[in-house]
Chains A and B, each alone.
Chain A
Amino acid sequence: MAIRTISIKGTDSKDVALQAKEALKDFETKFLLFFASSYYEDSNPATELSVAFPDSKIIGSTSHSEYCNSTYTNHSVSIMAMDKDSIEDVCVKVVENIREEININESVKDMEAYFGGSEEIFNNFDKYVGIILFESGAKAEEVFMDRLGDATNILFVGGSSSAAENNISRVYADDKVYEGAAVLAVLKTVKGYDVLKTQSACVLSDRKLLVTKSNLRDRILYEFDNRPCGEVYAEVLGVSVDKIKDYFVSNPLGIVIGDEIFVRTFDQIKEDGITLHCGLPEGAEINVLKIGDIVADTKQALDNIITYQPAGVINFNCLYRTFEMLNEDLTQPYCALFGRYPSIGFSTGGEAFLGHINETSTVLVIK
Chain B
Amino acid sequence: MIQKIVAERSRGNQVIANSVRTKIILKGIAIDKYTPTSPDDFAVMQKLREVAQEYGLIV
Contacts and interface: CB of A to CB of B under 8 A. Distances in A.
Contacts of A1: none
A260 B21 CA distance: 12
Given A150-B55, A262-B26, A354 B19 contact: yes
Nearest to A151: B54
B6 to A, nearest CB: 12
Among B10, B28, B51, B55, which residue has the most Cβ atoms of chain A within 10 A? B28
B34 to A, nearest CB: 12
Interface in B1-57: 9-11, 13, 15-16, 19, 21-23, 25-30, 32-33, 47, 51, 54-55
A282 interface: yes
Q: Which 7 A-B pairs have the closest CB atoms?
A: A281-B28, A283-B28, A355-B26, A150-B54, A149-B23, A284-B28, A285-B30
Contact of A283 (B9, B21, B29, B32): B29
A153 B13 CA distance: 11
Q: Is the interface of B mostly helix, strand, loop or mixed?
A: helix
7 contacts: A153-B10, A283-B27, A283-B30, A284-B25, A285-B30, A354-B23, A354-B26
A324 interface: no
B57 to A, nearest CB: 11
Contacts of B28: 211, 280-284
B15 A125 contact: yes
A149 B9 CA distance: 11
Contacts of B29: 283
Given A125-B13, A125-B15, A150-B55, A257 B32 contact: yes
Interface residues of B, number: 22
A329 B40 CA distance: 53
B11 A122 contact: yes
A155 interface: yes
A125 B27 CA distance: 23
Q: Which interface class (under 10, 10 to 19, 20 to 34, 35 or more) fits A? A: 20 to 34
Given A281-B28, A283-B47, A257 B21 contact: yes
A82 interface: no
B24 to A, nearest CB: 9
A270 B10 CA distance: 41
Interface in A244-263: 255, 257-258, 260, 262
A125 B17 CA distance: 12
A51 B33 CA distance: 54
Interface string A147-177: 0011001010000000000000000000000
Contact of A155 (B19, B25, B26, B54): B19
Given A125-B13, A125-B16, A354 B22 contact: yes
A122 B13 contact: yes
Contacts of B21: 257
B44 to A, nearest CB: 8
A146 interface: yes
Interface in A194-242: 211
